Amino acid sequence: MCGITGRLNFDGQPVARQTIKRMTDVIAHRGPDGEGYYQKGAIGLGHRRLAIIDLSEAASQPMCCEDGTIWLVYNGEIYNFQELRRQLISYGHIFRSNTDSEVILHAYEQWGIDCLKRFNGMFAFALWDERRQLLWLVRDRLGIKPLFYAHLPNALLFASEIKSILENSDVNRDLDKRALSYYLSLNYTPAPFTLFAQVRQLLPGHYLMVTPQGESEDVCYWDLHFEEDNDSSLEHYRTAFYTLLDESVRLRLISDVPFGAFLSGGVDSSSVAYLMSRHLQEPVNTFTIGFAEASYDETGYARQVAQQIGACHRERLVDAKTAEVLPKIVWHSEEPTADSSMVAVYYVSQLAREHVTMALSGDGADETIAGYETYQAYYLHRYYSRLPLFFRRNIIHPLVNILPASDRKISLDQKIRRFIAADGLTSEEAHGVWRMIFYPQMRQQLLAPLGASADQDILELYRQYFSACDAHHPLNRMLYVDTRFYLPNDMLVKVDRMSMAHSLEVREPFLDYRLVEFLATVPPRYKMKDFWNKKFLLKSVMRGRLPSATLNRKKAGFNVPNARWLRGDLRDFACDHLSSRRVREMGFLEPSVVEHLLHDHFSAKADYSHQIWCLLTLALWWQTFIQKSVQHE
């Protein structure tokens, strides 16, 4: 795993080597094992290396082909590189290393941009073809690895992280007001947006082709398509699913460095750890984070799985004081992303990196095999919407509003409040509302300093993704939206940024594109069976292989007890960074609205922990990337 950077000047001026070095140095955490640069005329490339496969100098980057006309900087893993390497050798290609990076170069020489169809992996890379005078920027199908760029009048800049792009003096730090509204809605900034007006994200499954004259073309090379006419037996799908998942795990064990697995105690990570144990002669290294708050702690379940598979298991307890690393987390997340579970991922990555350099995780199963309660809520919403409007508005709503707020991890009052927030909307629109942090009315109040036009309709983004889906079944349509929108913009962001903060590579077996495409052919009834049984296919194949308690427990997620933390040890920290003075300095939020949220949360009138965490992250982002840069000018 690595970090990549680069600049292509459109005016033909040489790229200063010092510019590329600054861009690359600022993301040294992504690659502590080496650095490299290529500069020739108007093109400059930079690379920080985290050595995983082929630890020799032969695998260093930037890497070039034999005649020096094609140059590559690459972040990721091509899991089928050995198979491709053998095939390319049979065509006469000569390799100087044993790394997957060189496979990309030779594959491009052999097949051109069609080589993408042959890559099975997670990747973001930039390839400069000197003969064709083209810069090719590529992001993997599911968006596991990030790639940002700024298309300026005089140059194209790109990098694994935004902070590299900001090292260029011709990039301003103007706030993208549209992206700000999206961020307040979702807790994250959805691609292609970032909070920086000049910086964009390449979408998953897309590539960008750029010429030295500044012309560019953004191409979608992969999308998820559903086949809904299949109707084979459950046993057929069980066998095929297990075979694909097992092969996906096996491929992700190819490594020249020590590795392990994140183990939360849920069925996803437990399945991955189990399959790892079947392929290894030595015990699997597993890592778990726990909490003192009982409703949030899953260490008991993780311990049970670790014991059953004979793992070498390690745990660490996280408390509110350790969450004061939030400024460091914001520096790494930078878009920003305010998912409070980033704290947990930060610490489990830190724990893992003390013992291994690479780890497997269970991310992606919820979005592809139906693991979220929102899928069940969709069907409940359809029935709820048939109740008389008078009964819903005048009886149900008032009763819900008087429910006492709870700070438990899975509380009924939070579920009910979120559910009725979608009253009056279509069920597909409701799917978007249930992921909202700030609803429209409060967003408009918060953004009052920017004017009435600042707020954006986040549901329009959801409508666009639903309209792009070729499935007809409601469950498949929701799975498409969550796989293409929610997964790469939130879940995969926190894993990439928090693991890379500790120079740890994380691989995602559930996101092997062959497995994802297969699951798009599985009938919905085998993903969520009889309404109650979420991830039915996964649990079905793992029954008898994992403890019953793991398979039968309710989904808990990897959240932290932020409601209790904010009322306790983090209260002064939050009040300081969200004081009226600081909010006024930011200039784009209404201080009285923030003050109201803090007051009602601290007095236990309501649980505004997610909203406060969102604003706290935003305030820290502004202080880190905007205020400090202004002070340094």
DSSP tag of 1: -
Neighbours of 176 (CB within 10 A): 18
Q: Which of 2, 115, 469, 614 is catalytic?
A: 2
Q: What is the pLDDT of residues 238-295, one digit of tens each?
A: 999 999 999 999 999 999 999 999 999 899 999 999 999 999 999 999 999 988 777 6
Three-state SS letters, 205-244: CEEEEECCCCCEEEEECCCCCCCCCCCCCHHHHHHHHHHH
Among 499, 461, 467, 502, which Cα is nearest to 203's?
A: 461
CATH no. for 2-220: 3.60.20.10
Q: Which amino acid is at 188?
A: Y
Q: Is 451 left (phi over 0), alpha (psi -120 to 50) or beta?
A: left
Mean pLDDT over each residue of the chain, to the nearest integer: 93
Please report, for residues 25, 70, 93, the alpha-carbon distance to residue 132 in angstroms, rounded to integers and kept in the order given: 30, 10, 20
Q: Is residue 495's pLDDT more than 70?
A: yes
Show the tokens assigned to 253.
């064990």
The residue whose two tokens read 């000049």 is: 198
Please state which architecture CATH assigns to domain 234-367+493-552.
3-Layer(aba) Sandwich (3.40)
Q: Is 312 a catalytic residue?
A: no
Helices marked H in 187-323: 234-251, 267-279, 299-309
Q: Which residues contact 10 (CB under 8 A, 6 or more apart)?
A: 42, 153, 154, 155, 156, 212, 213, 214
Show the tokens assigned to 85.
């390497």
Q: Which residues contact 386 (CB under 8 A, 6 or more apart)?
A: none
The model's confidence at residue 415, banded by pLDDT at 50, 70 and 90, is confident
Partners of residue 361 on adjacent β-strands:
none
DSSP tag of 97: S
Show the tokens assigned to 363.
């991310």
Q: How many angstroms separate the most distant Cα atoms in the chain?
A: 76
DSSP tag of 388: -
The model's confidence at residue 560, banded by pLDDT at 50, 70 and 90, is confident
Higher-confidence residue of 600 and 562: namely: 600
The span from the CA of 526 to the CA of 233, in Å, is 10
Q: Is residue 409's pLDDT more than 70?
A: no
Task: Give start-end residues of each CATH 3.40.50.620 domain in the chain.
Answer: 234-367+493-552
The model's confidence at residue 12, banded by pLDDT at 50, 70 and 90, is very high
Please report, for residues 117, 168, 206, 512, the alpha-carbon distance to residue 120 in angstroms, rounded to integers and kept in the order given: 8, 33, 15, 7
Neighbours of 219 (CB within 10 A): 11
